[in-house]
Amino acid sequence: MMIALLGAILVSVFTTPAKPVSAGGVTDYILIDATINPVSGAISVGGFSAAELAAFGIQPIHQDVVSVLRQLNQVHAFLNGTEITVDVDGQKLAAIQWNKESRSALFVLAESYGISLPGATTERVSGLLDEVQVEITTRMTAETSKPFAIQLSRPLQADVGTNGQVTLEGLPTGISLAPEVVNLAASGRVKNLVVCWNQGQVEATVNGQQLPSVTLYRAGVDVLNKVLLGNQAVQNLDPAFTTKVGIDASLSGAPHQTDARCGD
């Protein structure tokens, strides 16, 4: 069940550059690429096309806004645990304080506008932002955006409700698991499942018990990729074998493994 969730994330990084250039020596990062069609205003994010995003209710940008944005080539934002830097067409625009105290103030401000997050969620998000560098690039082009690039040591926390509804880090995803999947997990008395993909190695625990690890090799996966998918085969699998990401999934309110780490 959760392997399927992890697989969905991995599909999005199979053709992504392995590491953002400006990440330096930091091991954990998230790279997000977005494109805006300068003619239609259609948006593409993380390798998802405008048509795919439309299924989630994301519509093209209004033409009045596009007429302004098309004067730019690229906007780039870089976030670390202390500040956000923004540049436009390669020129520095702003540096914004982004430490724990300033983030807390923003969470309070958001609540005043009716955007309320559980305390546990804000703590998790703040902790992740201290550990992870985030790069967001927005380009004015008709090209589809590049897939997400992810390198995370801390598994993302997912909760599955009794009806199969899935939240990620306390936020609704709009995704629900099929009743058969939920019933299968319940019949096996699965309360918590942690799955980590680390550059081809899969580690998993069920209810805190370690399962045998599995190692996949780039050359063999490439052979099966071409044999099974033929003309639809992924052209470049290398980035998948430099990706590290995990899911810590709990069912029906069971506790998470708060000390879980991938690749440590």
pLDDT digits (tens, 9 = 90+) for 144-191: 888 888 899 999 999 999 889 998 888 788 888 899 998 998 888 999
Range of the domain at 192: 1-16+153-253+259-263
Kindly state the average pLDDT of the residues 59-67.
84
- What integer best gives the mean pLDDT of the chain? 82
Yes or no: say if 253 and 188 are a contact pair by the CB < 8 Å rule: no
pLDDT tier, 102 (very low <50, low <70, confident <90, very high otherwise): confident
Q: Could you tell me which of 49, 11, 52, 19 has the C-alpha nearest to residue 225?
A: 11
Is 106 in the same domain as 213? Answer: no
Distance CA 207, CA 159 (A): 14
pLDDT beyond 50 at 9: no
In this model, does residue 13 exceed pLDDT 70?
Answer: no
What are the residues facing 86 on neighbouring strands? 77, 94
In DSSP terms, 88 is beta-bridged to 75, 91
- What value does the mean pLDDT take over residues 195-205? 94
pLDDT of residue 122: 75
pLDDT tens-place string over residues 24-56: 445 799 899 999 999 888 999 888 888 878 877
More confident of the two residues 117 and 24: 117
Q: Is the pLDDT of residue 127 over 90?
A: no
d(CA 225, CA 44): 26
**193-to-156, 205, 248 alpha-carbon distances in Å:** 12, 6, 6
22 within domain boundaries: no
pLDDT at 118: 67
Residue 3 binned pLDDT confidence (cut-offs 50, 70, 90): very low
Confidence of residue 197 (pLDDT cuts 50, 70, 90): very high
Please tell me the distance from the alpha carbon of residue 218 to that of residue 237, in angstroms, as a whole number: 7
Question: Who wins on pLDDT, 13 or 236?
Answer: 236
Q: What one-character-per-residue DSSP string does 19-34 give?
A: S-GGGTT-S-EEEEEE
Q: Which of 146, 169, 198 is the endpoint of a domain?
A: 146
Which of 119, 146, 173 terminates a domain? The answer is 146
| Overall residue count recorded for the chain in this entry | 264
Residue, of 163 and 129, whose pLDDT is higher: 163
- Same domain? For 37 and 140 the reply is yes
pLDDT at 19 over 70: no
pTM above 0.75, yes or no: no
Q: CB–CB of 107/116 below 8 Å?
A: no
| Same domain flag for 94 and 163 | no
Q: Is residue 21 part of a domain?
A: no
- The domain total for the chain is 2
Tell me if 49 is assigned to some domain: yes
Determine, yes or no, domain membership for 58: yes
At 16 the pLDDT is 42
Q: Which two tokens stand for residue 120?
A: 């546990």
Identify the CA nearest to 236 among candidates 75, 17, 46. 17
In this structure, is residue 23 part of a structural domain?
no
- Closest-CA residue to 30 (of 135, 112, 184): 135
Most confident of 21-30, 51-60, 109-118, 134-143: 134-143
Based on the domain organization, do 87 and 195 belong to the same domain?
Answer: no
Share above pLDDT 70 across residues of the chain, in percent, rounded to a whole number? 86
